[in-house]
Amino acid sequence: MLSEKMNEALNVQANRELYSSYLYLSMSYYFESVNMLGFASWMRVQAGEELVHAMKMLDYVVSAGGRARVLAVEGPRVFWASPKEAFGQVWDHERAVTGLIHSLVGVAEAEKDEATRSFLQWYVDEQVEEEESSDSVLKLVLAAGDDDAALLAADRELGHRSFKFPRGFEMFPYASAQ
Ligand code: FEO
């Protein structure tokens, strides 16, 4: 059973994951508007992953006997000056999320909630990957600089990213339960 404090902290983090999804979806539409469809596609996959991060957390809250609350999501910005600025924000954002996940681990430890601590390890590991991928994408975009041909090549390369559900996560659990 989750403590009130742990339950609330998980609901708040799920809200931050939903905000991440909104942010990347907004970036995806921005890239679509400037006809960079590979970057738009990369962001759309990222937005989908963040939605899954939020749902996985709320699913856990329910399975641990808590109450899942889907809180209001702040609206993200809608325009960036360049791919460099947008991907720079992704990198900053992911580092900030890592800090939030580590604080959440701190709450689980303070609450002596071993089950939640163990559940959160997936997010700790995921953040290592998230930082790594946002770092490599930012480096690619920075290396392209203002060279249109290099940016086009980077756009094409990022367009190959595909979406994968985390192992064990069910997007539509109620459908399969019927
Ligand atoms: Fe769910 Fe990118 O952190």
What pLDDT, on the 0 to 100 scale, is given for residue 177? 72
What CA–CA distance (Å, rounded) separates 165 from 48?
9
With a cut of 50, which residues of the chain have pLDDT below it? none
CA quadruple 83, 151, 133, 29: dihedral sign: positive
What pLDDT, on the 0 to 100 scale, is given for residue 52? 98
What pLDDT, on the 0 to 100 scale, is given for residue 132? 97
Instruction: Write out pLDDT tens, residues 104-146.
Output: 999 999 999 999 999 999 999 999 999 999 999 999 999 999 9
User: pTM for this structure?
Assistant: 0.96
What pLDDT, on the 0 to 100 scale, is given for residue 111? 98
Q: Which atom of ligand 1 is nearest to the CA of 50?
A: 1
What CA–CA distance (Å, rounded) separates 28 from 46?
9
Query: How far does Cα 29 stand from its chain's mean position?
Result: 17
Q: Is 134 in the pocket of ligand 1 (CB under 6 A)?
A: no
Domains within the chain, CATH numbers bracketed: 4-159 (1.20.1260.10)
Q: Is 93 in the pocket of ligand 1 (CB under 6 A)?
A: no
